[in-house]
Structures are given as C-alpha cells and as structure tokens.
C-alpha cells in the first residue's frame, strides 16, 4: 500500500517490546480521541481526566474502590477472552453474569442454611453452573447445528436480564422496598474485606493464573490454539472440535457466572435488577485490550474499573456517566487501528528519478491488474 512517498510494507515478525508498546501507545491515543468527543459535548477534557485520575487512582481510598469495581470486570474479561482464544464470540457475558447471580442468589436467599465457608463454596459453584448452563445453550446450537453464537449469546442476554428483572420486581422483591432488589444475603456469606479490598481479588488472581497455565502448558490449551488457527487442521488431526466448543463456551459462561458471585457476595450483598450493569460488554473491551492474556486482563480490568469508579466524580461536574462506555469504545477502536502497525512498517521513499520511474511502471501494471508483490 502506498500513500505519496510513504509506503507500508508487511513485517515478517513482531518484536515482543513492540507488541507490548503498541497497545499502550494507542490506548493513550484513544484518550486523546475521546477528548475530542468530550469537547464536542462542551466540557474541558484535561480537568475531566485530571479529576478522574486523582479520584480513582492516586489515593488509597479511590484505588481500593477501583479494584473493587474491577473485580466483576476481571471475570467478565476472562470469560470473553477464553472464548476468543477459540475464535468464539461470546458477547453474552452480561446474561451469563445475571444467570449466575440468579442461581447463586436462589441458594443464598432460599436455600438451606449451611456453615460459613461451605455455604460460600456452594454458592460459588452454583453461580458458575448458572452462567455455564446459560452459555451452553449457545454452545450446543453452535456445536451441533453451527448456529452463529454471536447472535444467540446476545439474544440470551436480553432474556436473562428480563428474567432477573421479573424476579427482582416479582417473587424475590424485598418487602417494603420500592426498587427492584431482594433482601440482603446472610452476613456470613459476604466475601471478607482485607483493608477495604474485597478478598475476591485473590479468587481472580488464582483463576487467572490457572487459566494462563492451562492455555500455555496443557494439551487442552494447545488444542484450543490449533482450533483457533485452523479449524480444518484441528479436524484433520482428530481434535474433538464439538467437545471443545461445548467445554470452552461453558467455561466462558461459568467465569461470567462467577462475576455474578463476586458482585453479589463481595459488593452489593443482594440480587437486584440490572445487576451486571454492562460489565459483560466491558469484558469484551478488556479481553481485546489485553490480547486475551489472563494476567494482563487483571491489570487492564483495574484500569477500566478505575474509569468506572471515577464516573461518579465527573458526574458532579455535570459530565454524563456514559463517558465511561464512550471512552471504552474509543480505546478499543484505537487499539484495533494500532494493530495495523504491528503488521506493517512504514517506509519513506526517496524521490530519486530512478525509483520514481520504477514506481510509475509499477503503478501502471497495478492499474492493469498485474500482480504486485
């Protein structure tokens, strides 16, 4: 590809430092781009960003709030990432989150009373099962009938959220309440706080490390990457692709369900309508920005958690809270555009007559549709 004297050439390899540096540069550019929209809406971007950073990252209380806000995002990011690892687009983390919370919530609110650590463990697995089963609907349709999982997982979001809405306005609604929420769950099921930070963070770290090891060092992880890179090769090599679709999507759903677990036991302590609040979609952004690396997901989640956390403080300045989603989208688009520079390098052409003539010739043959190497 050529633009004037600039030419883009395909790179053979990408150095690791470039791979890391590139998204960072384009995340920064994304912030620049979003300040254009902030200005378009009549606000000054620098004070807005300044306030956001000082509030959510530069003091202990804000940082703790950001980490807590990041907690469900971490699981949603892991959920989307594991599906991406096999080229499956699970954009249904939002609904799986809700279903996880419904399964776990049913146990916490109406199930048998169990002694403290056991009840939490049971609830954890019920949340995972709820999310996993919900994703399994899309997984089964994909595996057996090759139905587009993107649309199905998304449609299931609407259904799950409406069901959650029904429960919280209907049979589960707390007495003497006007908002759609249940009573609080038993106190001994709360995730303990360690210095203000929810201990769910350790759960996130453990699961992220396990996922990282699974993807990198096990046969299963290797086979997933084979399926991603070439479905045909995988089928030829006898990898049970259908089984993997079922397992990976169910696992993805289970992780989103666990996001429901940490949200209910760690943060809101009850089940309420609109519980996921867009975390499932933020998970898509996180998975992409961290290139599906489970360990990087933890870090990026804190960044986006800080963004979410700081929406409260900019609202005081009159800035709409939707600034959070807008910035997320801008960051993602910016990093997508930046990917190009991982694949291509820029070459400047010197305008000496020799090469100019050659280029003209080249142009000529290109117009005629000749092969250009």
Out of 179, 230, 233, 322, point to the residue binding another protein (CB under 8 A): 322
In whole angstroms, the minimum distance from the beta carbon of 85 to another protein comes to 14
Q: How far is CA 42 from CA 36, 38, 48, 288, in A?
A: 10, 7, 11, 30
In whole angstroms, the minimum distance from the beta carbon of 21 to another protein comes to 18
Out of 31, 163, 190, 214, point to the residue binding another protein (CB under 8 A): 163
Residue 162 near another protein by CB under 8 A: yes
Which CB sits closer to another protein, 182 or 265? 182
Out of 155, 207, 268, 299, point to the residue binding another protein (CB under 8 A): 155
- DSSP symbol at 272: B
For residues 143 and 105, what is the distance between their CA atoms, to the nearest angstrom? 30
Q: How many distinct helices (H) and strands (E) make up the chain?
A: 15, 5
Residues 114-143 binding another protein (CB under 8 A) are: 141
For residues 313 and 26, what is the distance between their CA atoms, to the nearest angstrom? 25
Which CB sits closer to another protein, 118 or 371? 371
Residue 27 near another protein by CB under 8 A: no
Residue 10 near another protein by CB under 8 A: yes
Out of 145, 195, 219, 316, point to the residue binding another protein (CB under 8 A): 145
44-52 contact pairs (CB < 8 A, 24+): 47/317, 48/314, 48/317, 48/319, 48/323, 51/310, 51/313, 51/314, 51/317, 52/306, 52/307, 52/310, 52/313, 52/314
Out of 24, 206, 209, 337, point to the residue binding another protein (CB under 8 A): 337
Residue 73 near another protein by CB under 8 A: no
For residues 231 and 228, what is the distance between their CA atoms, to the nearest angstrom? 7
Cβ atoms 130, 104 nearer than 8 A = yes
DSSP three-state, residue 189: helix
Which CB sits closer to another protein, 117 or 320? 320
Residue 174 near another protein by CB under 8 A: no
Which CB sits closer to another protein, 119 or 301? 301
In whole angstroms, the minimum distance from the beta carbon of 125 to another protein comes to 27
Out of 212, 325, 345, 362, point to the residue binding another protein (CB under 8 A): 325
Of 125, 124, 128, 72, whose CA–CA distance to 99 is shortest? Answer: 128
Binders of another protein: how many residues, by CB under 8 A? 52
For residues 34 and 331, what is the distance between their CA atoms, to the nearest angstrom? 8
For residues 330 and 161, what is the distance between their CA atoms, to the nearest angstrom? 26
Of 337, 319, 331, 340, whose CA–CA distance to 31 is shortest? Answer: 331
Residues 286-305 binding another protein (CB under 8 A) are: 288
Q: What are phi and psi of 229, to 5 degrees?
A: -75, -35
Out of 4, 115, 170, 353, point to the residue binding another protein (CB under 8 A): 170
Out of 13, 146, 187, 219, point to the residue binding another protein (CB under 8 A): 146
Out of 126, 204, 284, 296, point to the residue binding another protein (CB under 8 A): 284
Contacting positions for another protein (CB under 8 A)? 1, 10, 37, 40-41, 89, 91, 141, 145-148, 150-152, 154-156, 158-159, 162-163, 165-166, 169-170, 281, 284-285, 288, 320, 322-330, 332-333, 336-337, 339-340, 367-369, 371-373
């Amino acid at each position: 590809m050529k633009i004037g004297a600039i030419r883009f050439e395909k790179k053979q390899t990408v150095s690791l430092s470039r791979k890391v540096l590139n998204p960072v540069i384009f995340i920064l550019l994304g912030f620049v781009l979003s300040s254009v929209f902030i200005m378009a809406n009549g606000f000054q971007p620098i004070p807005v960003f300044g306030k956001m950073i000082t509030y959510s990252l530069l003091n202990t209380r804000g940082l703790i709030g950001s980490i807590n806000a990041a907690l469900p995002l971490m699981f949603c990011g892991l959920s989307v990432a594991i599906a991406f690892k096999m080229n499956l687009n699970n954009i249904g983390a939002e609904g799986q989150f809700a279903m996880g919370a419904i399964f776990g919530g049913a146990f916490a609110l109406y199930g048998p009373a169990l002694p403290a650590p056991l009840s939490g463990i049971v609830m954890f697995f019920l949340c995972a099962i709820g999310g996993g089963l919900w994703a399994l609907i899309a997984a089964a349709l994909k595996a057996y009938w090759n139905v587009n999982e993107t649309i199905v997982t998304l449609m299931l979001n609407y259904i799950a959220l409406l069901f959650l809405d029904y429960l919280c306005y209907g049979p589960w609604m707390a007495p003497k309440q006007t908002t759609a929420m249940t009573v609080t769950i038993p106190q001994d099921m709360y995730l303990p706080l360690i210095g203000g930070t929810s201990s769910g963070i350790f759960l996130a770290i453990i699961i992220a490390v396990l996922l990282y090891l699974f993807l990198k060092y096990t046969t299963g992880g290797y086979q997933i990457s084979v399926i991603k890179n070439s479905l045909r090769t995988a089928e030829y090599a006898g990898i049970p692709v259908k089984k993997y679709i079922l397992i990976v999507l169910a696992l993805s759903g289970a992780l989103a369900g666990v996001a429901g677990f940490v949200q209910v036991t760690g943060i809101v302590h009850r089940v309420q309508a609109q519980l996921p609040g867009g975390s499932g979609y933020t998970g898509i952004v996180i998975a992409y920005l961290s290139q599906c690396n489970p360990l990087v997901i933890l870090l990026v989640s804190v960044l986006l958690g800080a963004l979410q956390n700081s929406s409260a403080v900019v609202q005081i300045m009159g800035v709409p809270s939707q600034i959070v989603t807008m910035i997320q989208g801008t960051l993602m688009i910016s990093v997508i555009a930046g990917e190009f520079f991982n694949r291509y390098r820029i070459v400047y052409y010197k305008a000496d007559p020799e090469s100019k003539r050659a280029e003209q010739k080249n142009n000529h043959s290109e117009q005629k549709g000749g092969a250009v190497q």
